[in-house]
Every structure is written in structure tokens, then in C-alpha cells.
Chains A and B, each alone.
Chain A
């Protein structure tokens, strides 16, 4: 059977293209068009099937299996080609020196306990904490804890390994070949030099800062365009309230309140200087009793002393004068 027209068949995609067909005149009705399309389509499909069924096939449960060739039409990739990982510092060193990797077993025979133990992880072979006795050497200083020293050394080793890993990842990142599950996240550097974690700014703080910035504009932030969802700035600066100019006759109630407030404040400030009534009363009583006693004694001793006694001065009046006038007024 000879092929009448050459179709471009891409078997890998199960695709066929007939470049030589052309509609001499557009068919009048839609059905005609459809029929013609199906006819041509059948021819193309048959061409693909011809090639497909002639491929060497293997028998499978569901049917014959053929191995398709790779597609010939080039289509763009959806992601970039993965970049090869640069060798780590150890890898390049091992390559240079000719050190080969050795296959290690997961379990190792532990002489001490006589069992098979893991090489690393929980309950491992040569764990630092299992060592019961460390013999003292001549070079050891007295007072130095060898166990703590070992732990500290291990910590340093682990940290060094972490640093090396970070360096290797940074190198890979520079090339663009970071492994897919690893991300290098940048945490902000504090300017102060301390390693404190920078605090996250809250919504209210941001609002405050925005307000401060707004007031630095020429019109004090009054005509700034607002973003959707941004609230108007809170009233900034001192808010002063003035009493109404005219309110009734004499002292209005609001003014009264204002003055009362001021007075109360003053009183509370100087409360330690203001009279303590109970104390004054007891003082007076004590003095009176004293005087009565004296008088009694004086009467017993001589009657002339009574003239020497001054007329009873009510100490109340003197000391109260200062404070009580204010008190009365306040009431």
C-alpha cells in the first residue's frame, strides 16, 4: 500500500498533522464541514494506528503493550532544568585525596554489653554518657570535670558541623541548586548588635507610626489619601475643654464643678497640713484635764495661783481658724 499524502506523524504524542489539505471552497452547510473533517480525521487516525500497531508488542493482562518512542515535537518545559549540586567541602576534599566512601552497617557489635547496637541514635554503641570511669592523666588539672569537658567538646563539634552545613547550603544557593525541601530564611539583623529577636510590630503601633508620619506633612495629615481599610487618625495633642462663656447668673454649675475639682486637688495635696479633728479634740481634752489637775493642786496649795491662771483659752479657735474657714467655704 503506498501512502498518498505524507502526514507528519509524531508517535510519541500520538499526533498526526496533514499539512497538505486545504478547503478549496468552504462547504456550504455545517454538516458538510463536519463530515469532511471527520473523513480527513479518520484518514489521519488510521495513519497513526498503522504505525502504532506495527510496533513490537508484549503481552499483558489487559492487552498488548507497546513501547512508544519519545515524542518528536518539541514543547517548552514548565520548569527550569535542575542545576547540578556543587560538591560540598568534604566531597571536593575526598575527591582530591582519593578517599572512597565505605558502606557502613546500621548495627554494630557492642563488646561491652554483648549485643548489636545502632551506630547512631538512641542507645548507640560508643555513647559519651555510657562511659563510667575516665582515668586521670598527668596532664589533667585537679578540679576539672572530665565528663563536662567531654560534653563541651561534643557541643563544639556539633556546632562546627552545623556551621559547615550552612556554608555548604549557602554555596549551593549561590549556584541555584538548593535541595527542594530546604529553604534559607533570612532573619532580620538587629542594628544594636545584640542577638535579640526583633519584635513584631502590632496593628496599633503601625497606626500610631502612620499618624506621626501624617502630621509631618504640610497640612498636618488632614488631606492625605487613605488606603482602603485605614482608619482616621486619633485626636493627637492635648485636648482642651473650655467652659461656655454665658451660663445663668452668678457662678454657673459647671464653673462650680471646676472650682470644686481644683479645691479637692489642693486639699488632697496639702492634706497632711490640714487639721486632724480627732487629734485636736484629744489634745484639748488632755490639756484641760491637766489644767484642772493643776488647779486642784494649786487650790490645795494656795488660792493666789488661780489669778495667775490665764482665762481659759480655747485652743480650738486658734488652730481651727486657719483650716475651718476653708472647710466651711468648701461646704
Chain B
């Protein structure tokens, strides 16, 4: 026996509709959480990440024991949290002797783990260690510029994957209209070697130049860290294919009355309704056709001249 369950409150219904799968997706939410053991640097990294992405990030501060992303059974908690908070990217921080200052950045598809990248953090410098002019500080939630430097991002498998994940993590919402006065931050990622990426966050200073395009200047404001790629897990092919499907891939609607010919190319058919010549309205009425004139002529047929008012009388 089935029963239909609908929400009794409008607020619940609106929330459910927000979380429903959409044709064109906007803004992935990020989940920050930690394992049983975290170091000071890791805590600072997670806090700074939270501040950088404020507005579309959820921070969990408790220790989570049974999360082991790379093991088959240890992902259930992550999937549950992703379902609960509606987050499709997560950053899980933990420390151990073998993997100090470890961050696992992962993405989910339909609340199931899609792919994972494990990086170690070294040489972390927080925001407050950089001295800069307060006026340059970027606004919260502004769309950043993301730059990747180095051939490693193209040649090395793990770095390619990391680049993909970083773009997803850092880009923010996909927007159609951008206010040019509001560009004020940039993330720079440089592949220093085959497994080390130097990551930093800079503010943009726009200087006057001769042309419309201003001269860009980068001022480092932090945080900056070295990311060392440790492990990664790519999605399996079928899942990847399904996740990469977009709305445009759907079969185009058949356009009517258009056909293709090999000789003439594209041919279109136009259907014209029957013309009723008698009832048609002529656009430029010639003088003789106008009714008043005709009627006037019929009346004054005996008279040759059309009556003209004598002006002398009125004067």
C-alpha cells in the first residue's frame, strides 16, 4: 500500500525544490570537516578556506572517527553528510604519522563519491602573516581569476586531476553577467615539480593604462601553501560519462519544414494561404480610388468645377 507524502509547509517545499536536480546547475556547496587528529596548520587551513568561500561552505568542527575516503567502507559518513547538507565538494583534513597535514578533496555525484585527490600541505602561511594595504582587500564572494602555470598540469595525471578539482573548488558560482569593478582576487597555482603545486591567493590592483584594459598587478594577501599530491582516485568511466552529460547533449527538437538537399543545401518550405484579391487592402490608395473623390465626382457631374469657397465673402 503506497501513500503520497507531501510537505505540509511551503518553506519545506521550497527547500526541497532548491535541492532537486536541475537542468543547468549553479554553485556547488563545499563541506569542510576533519578527522580524529588534526594539527594546528590543518585547522588554520580549513578556517582560511572557510573564510575564502564564505556563503557557499559548511564547516563541521567535530572529530569524525569513521571517515576513510580511500577505503571502500569508510565513505558512508561522507555520503550521508553530503546528502544532509546538499554539498557536492568536500575537504577532509586529518593528520597521521604517515600522512602529516593531509587534505582529501573530493567530489560527489548524486551524493555518491565521484573522485578524490589527496594532498599534503607544507609551508602554510596564513592571511594575517601578509602585510598589505587594507584598501586592496577583496570583497567576500567576488568571482576570482584562477591561473594555472606549468606544463605539469598537462602532462602529469595526478596534476591534471588536481587542476580539475581545484577549478571546481575555487571558481564559485557560474554567472552570466559580471561587474568589471568587482574583479579583485586571483588564485595562482604553479606546478613547481611533478608532484608539488604552489598555491597562493592574491588581490588584484587595476592600474590605469592607455587602453580600456587596465594594467593588472598582483598583491599577495595569502593564504599560501605548497600542495603535495599523494594519492588520487579517478571516477570510473561509466560514472564519468553520466556526470559529464549536459542539457545541450539532449537530442535537438526537430525543426519543421526544413530539409537538407545534397545539391541545393538547406531548403525551407513556406506555406502561403489563398489570396482573396477582391478583399485585399491596397497599401497605396491611388487618387482615383478614394471614395470621397468618387462620390464627389458623381454629385458634381453636371457641374464642371468643384465648388470652391469664395474667400472674399468671409473677409
Q: Which residues of B lie under 8 Å from residue A67 when comparing CB positions?
A: 176-178
B174 touches A (CB below 8 Å)? yes
Q: Which residues of B lie under 8 Å from residue A189 when comparing CB positions?
A: 1
Q: Mark A8-39, 1 if CB is under 8 A from B, else 0.
A: 00001111111111110010001001100110
CB contact between A26 and one of B144, B193, B245 (< 8 Å): that residue = B193
Q: Is the CB of B216 within 8 A of A49?
A: yes
Q: Mark B1-33, 1 if CB is under 8 A from A, else 0.
A: 111111100001100110111110100100000
In the bound complex, CA of A49 to CA of B206 (Å):
10
Q: Which residues of A lie under 8 Å from residue B5 when comparing CB positions?
A: 182-185
Q: Is the CB of A165 within 8 A of B4?
A: yes
Q: Mark B59-84, 1 if CB is under 8 A from A, else 0.
A: 00000000000000000000000000
In the bound complex, CA of A71 to CA of B143 (Å):
14
Q: Mark A26-57, 1 if CB is under 8 A from B, else 0.
A: 10001001100110111011101110111001
In the bound complex, CA of A76 to CA of B204 (Å):
29
Known: A49-B216, A53-B214, A75-B164. A17 touches B153 (CB 8 A): yes
Q: Is the CB of A33 within 8 A of B145?
A: no
Known: A77-B243, A81-B21. A45 touches B186 (CB 8 A): yes
A281 touches B (CB below 8 Å)? no
Q: Which residues of B lie under 8 Å from residue A22 when comparing CB positions?
A: 150-152
Size of interface on A: residues with Cβ below 8 Å to B: 64
Q: Is the CB of B144 within 8 A of A14?
A: yes
Q: Which residue of B lies closest to A63 (CB)?
A: B181
In the bound complex, CA of A269 to CA of B20 (Å):
74
Known: A41-B202, A66-B178, A76-B244. A19 touches B218 (CB 8 A): no
Q: Mark B132-158, 1 if CB is under 8 A from A, else 0.
A: 000000000001111111111110000
In the bound complex, CA of A255 to CA of B82 (Å):
70
Q: Mark B203-237, 1 if CB is under 8 A from A, else 0.
A: 01000000011111110100010000000000100
CB contact between A66 and one of B12, B150, B180, B204 (< 8 Å): that residue = B180
Q: Is the CB of B17 within 8 A of A65?
A: no
Q: Is the CB of A37 within 8 A of B188?
A: yes
Q: Which residues of B lie under 8 Å from residue A64 when comparing CB positions?
A: 179-181
A132 touches B (CB below 8 Å)? no
Q: Is the CB of B213 within 8 A of A181?
A: no
Size of interface on B: residues with Cβ below 8 Å to A: 78
Q: Is the CB of B2 within 8 A of A46?
A: no
A180 touches B (CB below 8 Å)? yes
Q: Is the CB of B186 within 8 A of A37?
A: no
Q: Is the CB of B149 within 8 A of A37?
A: yes
Known: A45-B204, A65-B177, A65-B179. A186 touches B7 (CB 8 A): no
Q: Is the CB of A15 within 8 A of B171?
A: yes
CB contact between A14 and one of B88, B145, B193, B200 (< 8 Å): that residue = B145
B167 touches A (CB below 8 Å)? yes
Q: Is the CB of A13 within 8 A of B146?
A: yes
A145 touches B (CB below 8 Å)? no
In the bound complex, CA of A92 to CA of B243 (Å):
31
Q: Mark B264-303, 1 if CB is under 8 A from A, else 0.
A: 0000000000000000000000000000000000000000
CB contact between B213 and one of A44, A53, A65, A71 (< 8 Å): that residue = A53
Q: Which residues of B lie under 8 Å from residue A182 when comparing CB positions?
A: 4-6
Q: Is the CB of B7 within 8 A of A40?
A: no
Q: Is the CB of A33 within 8 A of B192?
A: yes
Within the complex, the shortest CB–CB distance from A262 to chain B, in Å, comes to 57
In the bound complex, CA of A63 to CA of B218 (Å):
21
Q: Is the CB of B123 within 8 A of A30?
A: yes
In the bound complex, CA of A54 to CA of B180 (Å):
11
B50 touches A (CB below 8 Å)? no
Q: Which residues of B lie under 8 Å from residue A33 when comparing CB positions?
A: 192, 198
Known: A45-B147, A66-B180. A76 touches B114 (CB 8 A): yes
- Contacting chain A: which of B102-110, B255-263, B304-312? B102-110
In the bound complex, CA of A41 to CA of B217 (Å):
9
In the bound complex, CA of A250 to CA of B6 (Å):
79
Within the complex, the shortest CB–CB distance from A59 to chain B, in Å, comes to 11
In the bound complex, CA of A40 to CA of B190 (Å):
9
CB contact between B179 and one of A48, A49, A60, A71 (< 8 Å): that residue = A60
In the bound complex, CA of A62 to CA of B181 (Å):
7
6 extra interface residue pairs, beta carbon distance < 8 Å, beyond A34-B220, A68-B175, A78-B107? A23-B192, A53-B212, A54-B212, A68-B177, A170-B2, A187-B2
16 contacts between A and B (CB under 8 A): A12-B174, A13-B171, A17-B148, A40-B147, A40-B188, A41-B147, A41-B202, A44-B188, A45-B204, A49-B213, A52-B180, A62-B182, A74-B244, A76-B114, A78-B28, A80-B109
Q: Which 7 residue pairs across A and B have the least CB separation, nearest first? A: A63-B181, A78-B88, A180-B20, A76-B243, A79-B21, A41-B188, A44-B147
